[in-house]
Structure 1
Amino acid sequence: MPTKDFLVLLIDDDELILRALKRTLSRLLPHWAVETMQDAHQLTERLSKGPAPDVVMTDRLMPGIQGEQVLQQVQQLCPLALRCILTADNSADLLIQDSALIHFFLAKPFTDEQLLQVFSCAERLQALNFSPAERAYLGRLCVLPVLPPLYQKIEAMLNKAEFQLKDIAELICHDPVVSSRLLQLANSAFLGFSRPTISLTEAISRLGLDLMKSIVLALKSSLAYQSHISAGQHQRITEQAFHQACLARNLCKQAGLGNDIQDSAFLVSLFDCLGWMAEHLQQPSMADEDSCHFSMISAYLLTLWGFDQSIVQAVILPDELEDCQSLAGVIHWLAHKAAQFKTIQLKETDQHILEALQLYPAWTELQAGIKTS
């Protein structure tokens, strides 16, 4: 029998469902090994003996035990595994998506595409250059933000054959925090806007759809931390992240880079906020020596949400500029340094990198502006 690359453990008290799901996964994912378990009470013994699964999928309602209890055991005993819950109870959607135990929620009947999304995410997480200790830390995060409903509604609207900006503005206008932030940025001279506007539709047009979506995602997903850190910390981190993101976009504009890289650099720098907020949390289940760089937390969440690997890699901040793997990653690194320190003395090798990328004049101009601000 050929060796499989990955392993999924399926848990359900219904043998027919287990057989059907195993057949489906064997057809869709031939490089995955599929193991089934009818009695969830045997999970602790199974996980202690190995091999460790890469994904655990469990039904929510089973005799004597609920799926959340199963995934709690998985989180503690096998934190590297992605955790997915299956349920026919759609009313439970909002309740369980709020749980840090659950990476994915699949409502029955789910599609092949929804299944593939879970396993694609597991494979992309495996490809990230994280140590086992870092992966365990991420698997035990005590806050696990999910894709916000407002963001999902915007995505659904944009996927329609025809849509109008005024319809998106109408959707967003009911959220005062998001609306005010979009208007603030659309009136920002720092981003190059000279004429004021009070129109949310025009604000979205000025910023562009990708930038607008990034702002919605960052603002709404960060709300998951509101009850875990102080209001002052939450506001300070949010403002710091937006300042850093604006520096990144401004650097791109001064360098004459196109809208695509401007939007990518803004998003990448903005999502440091999630890692910063997670760092402020007390996680009593973890040993003192356990830690994870804040940018890895952001990269982990973006991977769970299905973002492109190039974006995820650019989010991860290396110690040295030369270790950045893309132009967006270089700009993120520079924006982070500029936001943290008013005066930065780049190494000679760093200067050569910026000169090769034709970023050095824009960097010196940005630095001069920061010093005088």
Structure 2
Amino acid sequence: MVFVDDAPEILKHLQRTLAPMQAEWAMEFYPSATAALAAIREAPCDVVVSDMTMPGMDGAQFLGEVRKVCPQAIRIVLSGDQSPANYLRSASVAHRFLQKPFDVATLKATIEKAEALRDVLANPALRSLANEIKTLPSLPSIYQELMKEMQAPQASLKKASRIVAKDLGMVTKILQLVNSAFFGLRTHVSDPEQAVALLGFDTIKSLVLSSQVFAQFDQAQLPSFSLDELWRHAMLAGSCARRIAKEAGASQQVTDEAFTAALLHDVGVLVLVANKPDEYARVLELIRTKQMPDWEAERQVFGADHAHVGAYLLGIWGLGDGIVEAVAYHHHPDDYKGSGFCAVTAVHVANAMAEAQALPVENPIEVPGLDQQYLAREQFQSQLPRWRELCIAA
């Protein structure tokens, strides 16, 4: 494990604070990114924790280089600068962003969660399946352009709306959604700039990404598969996850992660359908004849399920770990190493609630698909009735 900070007093503080972990961690401390990078080139490491603002090569540049020379390393930014610009720069190269001052328990929990996710995405069955997949959908160009504008020093709503307006179908979809009960706005929105201003960059970014991802797939590849139904489920899950996160008092970051992850939680299904339509037809047959959950049928046919395939894709695209985790664990949150309410919680519950609403029985009392062990572990069971009310109203 490598720690990097150009301030001598902070480096000494890190050494003192982390001394109790010496029995568990092999740690090295470096006063510059250059020195640390040279050491990592000589001997790859498992975890890199770096300050953000350093002379010469700053934390974002350093972790970008670490990603090239030691891609398996977990990359963590530890910074006292909490500015949005700083966070956005680190988001593209770091798995986690921790604020100074920190405590050992938080750092340890952060590393454990990142390691667990890395283990999931390194699953041999998933890797084998990923190698067989001929075409993963590319990160949509409009989304990339929108991200670039968001990260600009003087991000502009007007410029963002112009980017969105390049895709007429996208504008139509967003304005339709904005004016539906989905967002509960009290005014009619008629132009992209107003939509961006009312909903904010993160919501628009999520809608752009999910809409373009769904638009990349050809329904004709598997006629018995309903792309429209999957899209409706994604939108309902997004609405539910957003409401649940707000009700739980989650931060804006967690609420945004929950919304985005819920919109994209079934993207792995699209990848499998597009690349393995014949095999996915067998999945659909197992679901129909054996009454299997989709994830169980997928594991029987492919050796991996759509949750892990989707998380793998979003990880390749560089989306944040909060989103990737929520997608990876949305069927089995008890496998998640974190604790407390997070995007994993919101997306798991929202997915189950949205699926329950599609059942023949209207408003079923029992919601199948909920991980009761996880809900009991995190003491969320008492909140389920309220969350269910919110989802029915979505």
TM-score (norm 1): 0.61
Counterparts in 2 of 1:323 and 1:149: CA distance versus 1, 3 Å? same
Structure 1 position 292 matched with structure 2 position 304: yes
SS at match of 2:139: coil
Match of 1:128 among 119, 141, 159: 119
Structure scoring higher RCO (CA < 8 A, sep ≥ 6) equals: 2
Give yes or no for contact 2:311–2:327 (8 Å, CA) kept in 1: yes
Whole-Å Cα distance in 1 between the matches of residues 277 and 228 of structure 2? 24
Structure 2 match to 1:338: 353
What is the count of residue pairs matched by the alignment? 269
Q: How far does the alpha carbon of each residue in 1:255-282 deviate from its partner, in whole angstroms, 9 at most, with x for none?
A: 3333222111011111123112123245
SS at match of 1:225: coil
Question: 1:1-373 counterparts in 2 under 5 A?
Answer: 29-31=41-43, 117=67, 123=73, 127-129=118-120, 130-226=122-218, 229=221, 233-281=226-274, 283=276, 289-317=301-329, 319-326=331-338, 327-342=342-357, 343=364, 344=367, 349=373, 352-353=376-377, 356=379, 360-361=382-383, 363-368=384-389
Cα displacement (A) at 1:352: 3.9
Whole-Å Cα distance in 2 between the matches of residues 233 and 156 of structure 1? 33
Give the letter for the 2:177 counterpart: L
Give the letter for the 1:337 counterpart: A
Give the letter for the 2:322 counterpart: S
119-128 vs 315-324, greater mean Cα deviation: 119-128
Q: How far does the alpha carbon of each residue in 1:297-350 deviate from its partner, in whole angstroms, 9 at most, with x for none?
A: 111111111223333222112654433445110111101111111331667655
Structure 2 match to 1:58: none
Give yes or no for contact 2:218–2:274 (8 Å, CA) kept in 1: no
SS at match of 1:189: coil
Give yes or no for contact 2:136–2:271 (8 Å, CA) kept in 1: no
Whole-Å Cα distance in 1 between the matches of residues 42 and 353 of structure 2? 47
Whole-Å Cα distance in 2 between the matches of residues 26 and 254 of structure 1? 48
Q: How far does the alpha carbon of each residue in 1:139-169 deviate from its partner, in whole angstroms, 9 at most, with x for none?
A: 2223311221111211222222213201110
Give the letter for the 2:317 counterpart: W
Q: CA RMSD in A?
A: 3.6
Unpaired runs of 5+ residues, structure 2, are: 1-36, 46-60, 75-114, 280-298, 358-363
Give the letter for the 1:296 counterpart: H
Whole-Å Cα distance in 1 between the matches of residues 314 and 371 of structure 2? 31
Whole-Å Cα distance in 1 between the matches of residues 301 and 222 of structure 2? 25
Counterparts in 2 of 1:214 and 1:347: CA distance versus 1, 3 Å? closer
What percentage of aligned pairs have identical amino acids?
21
Give yes or no for contact 1:268–1:314 (8 Å, CA) kept in 2: yes
Whole-Å Cα distance in 1 between the matches of residues 214 and 71 of structure 2? 21
Counterparts in 2 of 1:121 and 1:151: CA distance versus 1, 3 Å? farther
Q: How far does the alpha carbon of each residue in 1:199-243 deviate from its partner, in whole angstroms, 9 at most, with x for none?
A: 211211222212211222222233332276358733332222122
285-294 vs 302-311, greater mean Cα deviation: 285-294
SS at match of 1:143: coil
Whole-Å Cα distance in 2 between the matches of residues 321 and 274 of structure 1? 18
Whole-Å Cα distance in 2 between the matches of residues 227 and 351 of structure 1? 36
Unpaired runs of 5+ residues, structure 1, are: 1-24, 34-110
Whole-Å Cα distance in 2 between the matches of residues 224 and 347 of structure 1? 32
Give the letter for the 2:238 counterpart: A
197-206 vs 317-326, greater mean Cα deviation: 317-326
Cα displacement (A) at 1:123: 4.8
Whole-Å Cα distance in 2 between the matches of residues 115 and 242 of structure 1? 37
Cα displacement (A) at 1:184: 2.8
Whole-Å Cα distance in 2 between the matches of residues 131 and 121 of structure 1? 16
Counterparts in 2 of 1:280 and 1:135: CA distance versus 1, 3 Å? same
Counterparts in 2 of 1:155 and 1:319: CA distance versus 1, 3 Å? closer
Counterparts in 2 of 1:288 and 1:316: CA distance versus 1, 3 Å? closer
Give the letter for the 2:239 counterpart: C
Give yes or no for contact 1:268–1:332 (8 Å, CA) kept in 2: yes
Give the letter for the 2:259 counterpart: F
Give yes or no for contact 2:333–2:345 (8 Å, CA) kept in 1: yes
SS at match of 1:163: coil
SS at match of 1:341: helix
Counterparts in 2 of 1:289 and 1:251: CA distance versus 1, 3 Å? closer
Whole-Å Cα distance in 2 between the matches of residues 142 and 279 of structure 1? 10
